[in-house]
A and B are shown apart, each in its own frame.
Chain A
Amino acid sequence: MADAAATEHAATEHAAPGLAAPGPVAPSRWSGRIALWLLLAPALLWLLALIVLPHVELALLSFRERVGPRQYVASLAQYRTFFDEPLYWHVFIRTAWMSILSTLLTLLLAFPTAWVIAKIARGRAGALLFAVCLIPFWVSETVRTLGWIILLRESGVLPALLVKLGITAVPVELLYRDATILVGLVYTSMLFMLVPLVSSLESLDDSLIEAAYDLGAGGFAILRTIVIPHAAPGITAGCIIVFMLTLGNYLTPTLLGGKNSAWFTEQIYTQFITRFNWEQGAALGFLLLALSTGLVVSGLRLTGQRFGDVMRRT
C-alpha cells in the first residue's frame, strides 16, 4: 500500500510541471507514458509476484514425478492418476455440479431481493435493505459458518425446535448433508450476486417496463423480454463471481459437510498438507482452474454474452 502511495505521489509530481505549463506547451508524450506505467506498476507487480510466478512454479511441479529421494523426472503421471483414480474425478464432477446448483439457487434467491432493493424500496429504504444484506459479511466466514453449525447440529437450535413442535420424535442431525452444504454456500455468496444484480436493475429505465405493460405484456413477458435481457450482463457477472467463489470454497463445505462433503479443494488440501505430495496437489489445482475456466466460457457461450461486455457493464 505504502508502495502504491509512493508511486502515485511520484506520478503526480512528474505530471505537475506539464499541467502547470502555460500556453500551448503540451506535456510530452513520454512523461504521460511513464506516469501510466508508474500508476500500473503496483498492480502489475502484484499480478506477477502473487499470481503468475506461483502458477509457473506449480505448473512445473505438476509435470514431474518423484522417482527416488530428491530425484524427479518430467512426466504426466500426476494427471494420469487423476483419471485412473475414480475418487478424484467423482469428487471433481460432484464439486462442479454442486457449484452450478448453488450458483443457480443464489441467483433465484438474489433476483427478487435485488428487484425489491432496486425497484420497489429505492432511495433510503433501498440503501437500508442493502446494508442489512451486507451486515453478515462484517463477520468472518468462519464465524458465520460456525453460526450455522450451532443452528443445525444434533444438539442445536433447529433440531430442538423440530422436536418441540412435534415434527420429529428425536433431534435429527442436520449437518453433514448436501443440502446443508448448499445452504451454507448460497448464504456465503449471496452478496456477490446481489451487488451486480442491484446495479444492473437500477439502470433499467422504469418507462421501459411501463411501455411493455402498455403494449400488452404481462408480468412474465416483461421479465422475459425486458428485464432479463437488460440485466443479462449483471446476471452473468454475478454468476461468474459466485461460481468461482463456490468452486474454490474450502471452509464452508468442510465445516458443514464434514467428511461427507467430498469437495475438490479438500483433495488439493490433502495432497499439499497431509500427504505432502505437492506434485499431485499442483496437478489437481490446475485441473480445477481448467474446470472453472471451461465452465465459465461455456456459460458465456450458452447465454450469448461476451466477457468484455459483462465486465464493462458491471
Chain B
Amino acid sequence: MNAAADLVADAVVKRFDDHVAVDSLSFSVARGSFFSILGPSGCGKTTLLRMIAGFIAPDGGEIAIGGASMRGIAPNRRPVNMVFQQLALFPMMTVGENVAFGLARRGMPRGERRRRSEAMLERVGLGGAAHKRVDELSGGQRQRVAIARSLVLEPTLLLLDEPLGALDLKLREHMKIELKQLQAAFGTTFVYITHDQSEALVLSDHVGVMNRGRFEQLGTPQDLYYRPQTPFVAGFVGANNRIEGIAARPDGALIEVTTPDGWMIRARREGSIGAGDAVEAFVRPEIATLARREPDLPHGQPPHAGEVQSVLFDGANSAVLLVEARTRREFRIALPQTGQFADLKPQERVWFCFDPGRATCFPARQAQGRRG
C-alpha cells in the first residue's frame, strides 16, 4: 500500500451477534487528503469510524494509523481525534478550556496551553472567544470550536461523524465550504462520514460508498458520479432515473433494454450482460434533452415521447417530472437555465432523448432482503 498513507485498514471485520456490520474492509487514505465514507444509515459507517477512533475493537483485521498498528491501543492514546455528531462540547467549561482540554491532559503548562488554544481559535476565526461559554455561540461557531479542540492536538487523522447533520440547510451549505477550506489550510488528513451525497461530493478527494458493511465503490467524486460501478452507487450518488428491464442483443459498448411493458431504451453496458438478462439502467436527469417538437431534438439520439406530470421549480436545480407516453413510466429531466421551458404545463405533450453512451446499464441485483 501507499507509503504516505495515514490510515490503512486491512480486512477489518466487526460483527454484532449474527449481523456483520463491517465486512472485511480494506482501504487506505493518503496523507493530507479528505476522505469521505458515504452510505445510508445502518451501512456500518459509524461502526467503522468508531473502530478507527478506538471505541470498539475490530473482530478481525488490522487498522494502522500513521504507519503504526492500533491493535489494543485505547482512544486516549491514539493519534486520532474525532468531531462528534452532536459536537459534544463540554458545557461546564469555557470555549478556551474546551480547546485546551486535550493539551491539559498532555500535561502542558497553563501558559503554553492558553497561548496555543488562543492561536487555534484565531485560526478558525474565533479569536477573542476563549472566555465565552459554549451556549453563547451559534451553531456554526460551535462547529468550529469542536474542530479547533481536535486540531490543536495536531492529530494524524481527524475523524468527523456527520458533524453537519444537526445544522439547518443554509448553515450546512456554508459550513461545507468552511470545512473544505479548513482542511486545505491545516493539511490534516480528514476522514468524514455522512449519508449526504452532496457533502461527500463537494468536500472529498476520495469517497468510499458503503453499503452493507462493504465499499461498493471507492474513487474520486467524479468517478462515482460519471462512472458508477454498481447499481447501488448509481442510485445513491446524485439523482438518477432507474429503469428495470430485460437486455436484448449487445451492440458494442451499448445495449438495448426493454421494460416489461415494452419501453425500449439504450444504455452503456457495465459488467457482463447477455441477451435475456435482467438489468437496471440509470439515466441522469441532466443528460436528457427536452423539446416541444420531435424535430427540435438533437439528431442521432433515439427520441422518446412524454407527457408532463409536474414542474419541480427549485431555482438552478429545477426539473420536470414526466411520464413516458405509452408506458406511463416516470422520468425526471433537469430543466436548462435558459428559462425556455418556464411555461411548461402539466399534461403537455413533449419529446425527450439522451445520449445512450452516458446512461449506464448494470446486471440486476439479485433479490436481496433489504435491511432497515
Interface residues of A (CB under 8 A from B): 205, 207-208, 210-218, 221, 225-226, 229-230
Contacts and interface: CB of A to CB of B under 8 A. Distances in A.
23 contacts: A205-B86, A207-B84, A207-B85, A207-B86, A208-B90, A210-B84, A210-B88, A211-B82, A211-B89, A212-B90, A213-B55, A213-B74, A213-B75, A213-B76, A214-B76, A214-B80, A214-B82, A215-B105, A215-B150, A216-B77, A216-B102, A216-B106, A216-B153
Nearest to B83: A211
A218 B106 CA distance: 11
A214 B101 contact: no
A108 B81 CA distance: 33
B75 A214 contact: yes
B92 A229 contact: yes
A229 B101 CA distance: 14
Given A214-B81, A216-B153, A217-B76, A225 B86 contact: no
B45 interface: no
A214 B53 contact: yes
Size category, B interface = 20 to 34
A283 B101 CA distance: 52
A231 to B, nearest CB: 10
Given A207-B88, A216-B106, A225-B101, 16 more contacts: A205-B86, A207-B84, A208-B90, A210-B84, A211-B89, A214-B76, A214-B80, A214-B82, A215-B76, A215-B101, A215-B149, A215-B150, A216-B153, A217-B101, A218-B105, A225-B90
Contacts of B55: 210, 213-214
Q: In this complex, which of A208, A216, A221 has the most chain B Cβ atoms within 10 angstroms of its Cβ?
A: A216
Nearest to A221: B105
Interface in B60-109: 74-77, 80-82, 84-86, 88-90, 92-93, 101-102, 105-106
A217 B93 CA distance: 15
Nearest to A228: B92
A211 B92 CA distance: 14
Q: Pick the most buried of A214, A221, A226: most chain B CB atoms within 10 A of its CB.
A: A214
Contacts of A215: 76, 81, 101-102, 105, 149-150, 153
B76 A205 contact: no
Most central of B55, B75, B80 by chain A CB within 10 Å: B75
Contacts of A225: 90, 93, 101
Contacts of B80: 214
Interface in B220-241: none
A154 to B, nearest CB: 51
A226 B77 CA distance: 19
A230 B93 CA distance: 10
Given A215-B81, A215-B105, A218-B76, A208 B153 contact: no
Nearest to A207: B88
Contacts of B106: 216
Contacts of A214: 53, 55, 75-76, 80-82
Nearest to A219: B76
A210 B74 CA distance: 11
B84 A212 contact: no
B214 to A, nearest CB: 26
Contacts of A218: 76, 105
